[in-house]
Amino acid sequence: MDGSEANILKELSFQLAVTRAMLKTVELDQILYIILSGITHGDGLNFNRAVLFLAWDRRNELRVSRTAGPANGEEAHRIWESIKAEKLNLESLFDRYTQSSSEPQFLTNRLIGFSLKLDEVKPLESLNAMQFELRSIIAHCVSTGKPFYINGVEVNYRDWVTGEDVAFKNFACVPIFLHDEVFGVILTDNFYNSRIIHSDELRGLSGVANLASIALERALLYRRLKEMAQVDGLTGVFNRRYYERHLHDEFMRSKRLERALAMIVFDIDFFKKCNDTYGHECGDKVLRQFAQLLKTNTREEDMVARYGGEEFVVLLTGETSSKDALRAGEKIRSIVESTAFADFQPGQITVSAGVGVVQPEEDFEQLFARADKALYEAKRSGRNCVRLFES
């Protein structure tokens, strides 16, 4: 067997191992772990690091979903020595997902602020430069829809949250397609050992991207089925159970990013009177219309949920100041006041709202309590108004 045949056999064995591992799960995070572990393991594609950018929850925006590999030279040495000592082959590494899922992802944390709007991407005029910016490289891969690699130059990213720099060198980019549209990008590099990337390695990376596309489509379908149990059946927004679980995740994210988190709690004024006078069918129409109004008039990254009865919450997950949150609440209150709900005239259905904000150094568990107290103040002030919690 010559070298070429041996390489083809190794590539087929690798793809078979990845396929088998992916077929065992429909959990998104485990699929991402398998993809990146295969790219970075010595029995796989043997890259130093790999980063997976996906437009998953926010379909029009790429963000870092998971990474594999070290964030610095010291960590690189520790990882490689550990794999060597434990003699972990590819299948063994795939089986370690449960253990690895709880380990800190230092590289992910350093890239957490990255985002790229898919409708704003454009290709680079030239790939012949001494240095590139990470957003430009990922945008080029998305806009061209083609894999590419560059040796000998650096790609840099400065995290605006931490102020830290991350550099990639001897790197390759491969797009991931879903329904003929770019859904994600795999970025790999050999920053630590400076190994040169060859053109035939793009074939292996593209193969992984194709497998990833199939697996991610399965995971997407599975997540949609799960979300059916997380959505309020009447209004179509998230239910309280999902809200509470999602809120904890946002607490952790905001702590990590060291930024404030804001919430608005809305209550439809005199809703019981509406139900008693006009019947529950009319009340249900009002609830559905108000829920859709909230979804239409909040940002894509914000979360809308029905907390219970006629009470709804909006979690403002982007960086939002007290003034911004108050402005967002007032905007919705004003729209509600000028909207004809069900069989009512504009102005007959109004809402009261309370705004709560917690800073990174404060207790995030106080967020809902603050918004709720502000809502009570809005009701005490005559309803159809918005109040900000002030200690």
Catalytic sites, residue numbers: 310
For tokens 């920053």, name the residue.
Answer: 191
User: Alpha-carbon distance 332 to 319, whole Å?
Assistant: 19
User: Alpha-carbon distance 35 to 209, whole Å?
Assistant: 8
Element (H, E) at 374: helix 367-380
Residue pair 33/100 in contact by the 8 Å Cβ criterion: yes
User: Alpha-carbon distance 389 to 391, whole Å?
Assistant: 7
Instruction: For 261, list phi and psi in degrees, rounded to 5.
Output: -130, 135
Report the side by side order of strands in the sheet with 303-308.
Answer: 303-308, 311-316, 261-268, 351-358, 386-388
Report the side by side order of strands in the sheet with 181-189.
Answer: 115-117, 61-68, 49-54, 181-189, 165-178, 148-158, 131-133
Residue pair 349/286 in contact by the 8 Å Cβ criterion: yes
Residue pair 184/52 in contact by the 8 Å Cβ criterion: yes
User: What letter represents residue 292's amino acid?
Assistant: Q
Distances (CA, A) of 226 to 75, 213, 232, 348, 382: 36, 20, 13, 37, 41
For tokens 């997976």, name the residue.
Answer: 52
User: Alpha-carbon distance 215 to 19, whole Å?
Assistant: 9
DSSP E strand boundaries for the chain = 49-54, 61-68, 115-117, 131-133, 148-158, 165-178, 181-189, 261-268, 303-308, 311-316, 351-358, 386-388
